Structure formats: C-alpha cells, structure tokens
C-alpha cells in the first residue's frame, strides 16, 4: 500500500480505479446526484487519508465536470494538505490566449479555481499547449501519452507508415510518435477560421504519401473537422489506409461518422475520455508520474 488515497470522480471512475490498483492505494468513489435544476451534489463514499489523488476528467458536460472536480478537491482538502489533482483531459486548455480582442483566457481562471479549491499539484495528460500550463501558479505537470499511443501501432502490420500531424502546431507530437515507431513524419498546413471554426488544409501536393499507410496524430478530436479535412486531403494524394489517433476523443455530434466517411479506417484514442475508441490505457503513465 502507498500512502495515497485515490478518489475517482464521476467522469473518471474506471481510470481512477486502475491508477489505485497500480499505486496499491486505497480507492474511494463518489456519489453524484443531479438536482432537478441541474446542480451537482457530490458525496465521497469514504474518508481519505494520507496524500490524496483526485482523478476527474473535464470532458462534456465540461462546466459540470469542472465544478464536480472543484467540489471533490475542496472536500479532499479537509482531510489532507497534499491534494494532487489529475485531469486526464483538461477542458478549457484551448482557451490559453487571446485570439480575438475581448476574448477571456478562461484556462487562467480555471487554474485559479483549482488552487482556491485546495489543489497542491496538478497533473494533466497531453494538455493542448504548454502555454496553458503557464497560467497555473501551483506546480502543473504535463504527462505525455504519445509513447502509449504509438505502442498500439507498433503491433499493427502497416504498409510503409507515415505519421502526419493535421497542423504545424502538432509537428513535435508527430516527430516523437514517429521516432518511437522508427518511421517518417510530416505536418500539414491547416487554417481555422477563428469566427466560424471551419477548417481548411492549405498544403498543396505532398511527396511520399502515395500508397503509404498514414497515422494521423492529434492531441484531441472534437468536431472531427481537422481529421476529416486532413484525411480527405491524404486520400486525394492516393495514400493507403488512414488511421486517426489522438489522446482525447471528444467526438462531438457526428464526428465519428464524418471521420469514417472521409476514409479513415479506425480511430484510436486514450481512456482520458472513456468511449468506443479509447483503447489505450494511460493509468501506467499517470501512476509513474505521481510517484
Ligand atoms: C487544434 O489545434 C487541436 O490540436 C485539434 O486539432 C483540434 O482541437 C481538433 O478539433 P476538431 O476535431 O473540432 O477539428
């Protein structure tokens, strides 16, 4: 037994159990009641002791899951001065800077909330950008899931694979992913309309795509717009099979359907957000980062 108690928030109970097993720690679940007006009421199903690890992902409903995370954290703080908060998926991380005048940098506020609730350290799996981390005034650490995701592809029989990032911002992720597999990588040029959110691929013809199986790698898939446009582009370049791989598969609305329609063979993601595609377990890397 370690001196940790792991508290599994309602959005991450399964993952939290796995972390607790790896840490050989006590596990406590939470009861969630949602009142008719939409308020969340959290009850801890036991008393934590020692250092506390709160695990709660901030995926939709984002605001509710954030509030639940803050509620659990503040309750945990009454038992211990060392409360580590693990955010497998950190919603609001894309709001890390002002893109248009007047926009609120919401991640800055979320970072302040976490500190005020009693978090002494925060761990986030594949946060959207390191800029987001700079808004925290308590220690905030990113945990990369790239190797865990890449391991999944190592077992597959792919034809002359090429790792592709749908945008230049993701080139380092693609590089690390490709390095682990010992294959080539490249990044497309993507443009997003800041008002409509629509995505266009600006890249022209790409050499070295024809006939090769592609692993499209991104930190997250939300509406699927980025992956759809990238897959369509690669298919026009006569690529082989296209796989979409990301850490956080939000898959909002018809995202999955649209991605498959665009020619993607399979979507593979991590269990930071539980779902049909989340086959890659991040509990080993979280347990390792904590200790
Ligand atoms: C953007 O910079 C991110 O890395 C993802 O590419 C983006 O957030 C995915 O969103 P969507 O699936 O809506 O295109």
Q: How far is the CA of 22 from the centre of ligand 1 (A)?
A: 32
Same domain, 62 and 126: yes
Here the CATH number for the domain that contains residue 250 is 3.40.50.2020
Q: How far is the CA of 74 from the centre of ligand 1 (A)?
A: 32
257-275 residue pLDDT tens? 999 999 999 999 999 999 9
CB 142 within 8 A of CB 126: yes
Q: Which mutation among 167, 220, 227, 231 tests ligand 1's pocket best, with the greatest number of atoms within 8 A of CB?
A: 220
pLDDT of residue 94: 96
Give the model's confidence band at 197: pLDDT under 50 very low, under 70 low, under 90 confident, else very high. Answer: confident
Cβ 219 under 6 angstroms from ligand 1: yes
Q: How far is the CA of 256 from the centre of ligand 1 (A)?
A: 14
Nearest to 269 by CA among 64, 6, 57: 57
In a domain, 276, yes or no: no
Same domain, 156 and 264: yes
- Total domains in the fold of the chain: 2
Structure-block tokens of residue 84? 């580590």
In a domain, 97, yes or no: yes
Same domain, 79 and 106: yes
Nearest CA to ligand 1 atom 2: 169
Q: How confident is the prediction for the chain on average, in pLDDT? A: 96
223-235 residue pLDDT tens? 999 999 999 999 9
Count CB atoms within 10 A of the CB of residue 39.
10
The residues pairing with 85 across neighbouring beta strands, listed in sequence order, are: 54, 122
Cβ 221 under 6 angstroms from ligand 1: yes
Helix, coil or strand: residue 107: helix
111-125 residue pLDDT tens? 999 999 999 999 999
Nearest to 7 by CA among 75, 91, 66: 75
Q: How far is the CA of 1 from the centre of ligand 1 (A)?
A: 40
Same domain, 116 and 197: no
Same domain, 24 and 85: yes
Percent of the chain with pLDDT over 70: 99
Give the model's confidence band at 208: pLDDT under 50 very low, under 70 low, under 90 confident, else very high. Answer: confident
In a domain, 92, yes or no: yes
pLDDT of residue 20: 98
Same domain, 235 and 133: no
Whether the pLDDT of residue 194 is over 90: the answer is no
Same domain, 22 and 113: yes
78-111 residue pLDDT tens? 999 999 999 999 999 999 999 999 999 999 999 9
Cβ 226 under 6 angstroms from ligand 1: yes
Same domain, 89 and 152: no
By residue range, what is the domain housing residue 266? Answer: 146-271
């Amino acid at each position: 037994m370690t001196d940790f108690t792991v508290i599994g928030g309602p959005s991450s109970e399964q993952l939290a159990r796995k972390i607790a097993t790896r840490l050989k720690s006590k596990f406590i679940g939470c009861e969630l009641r949602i009142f008719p007006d939409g308020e969340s009421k959290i009850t801890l199903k036991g008393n934590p002791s020692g250092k506390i690890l709160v695990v709660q992902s901030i995926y939709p409903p984002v605001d509710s899951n954030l509030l639940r995370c803050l509620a659990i954290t503040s309750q945990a703080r009454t038992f211990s001065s060392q409360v580590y908060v693990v955010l497998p998926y950190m919603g609001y991380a894309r709001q890390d800077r002002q893109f248009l005048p007047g926009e609120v940098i919401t991640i800055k506020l979320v970072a302040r909330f976490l500190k005020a609730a009693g978090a002494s350290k925060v761990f986030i799996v594949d946060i959207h950008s390191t800029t987001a981390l700079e808004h925290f005034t308590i220690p905030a650490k990113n945990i990369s899931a790239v190797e865990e995701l890449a391991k999944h592809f190592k077992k597959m029989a792919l034809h002359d694979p090429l790792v592709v990032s749908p945008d230049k911002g993701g080139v380092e992720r693609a590089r690390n992913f490709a390095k682990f597999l010992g294959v080539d990588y490249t990044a497309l040029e993507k443009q997003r309309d800041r008002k409509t959110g629509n995505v266009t691929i600006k890249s022209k013809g790409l050499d070295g795509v024809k006939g090769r199986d592609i692993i499209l790698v991104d930190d997250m898939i939300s509406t699927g717009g980025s992956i759809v446009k990238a897959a369509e582009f690669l298919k026009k370049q006569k690529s082989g099979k296209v796989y979409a791989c990301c850490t956080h598969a939000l898959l909002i609305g018809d995202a999955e359907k649209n991605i498959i329609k665009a020619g993607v063979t399979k979507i593979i993601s991590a269990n930071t957000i539980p779902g049909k595609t989340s086959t890659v377990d991040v509990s080993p890397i979280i347990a390792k980062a904590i200790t």
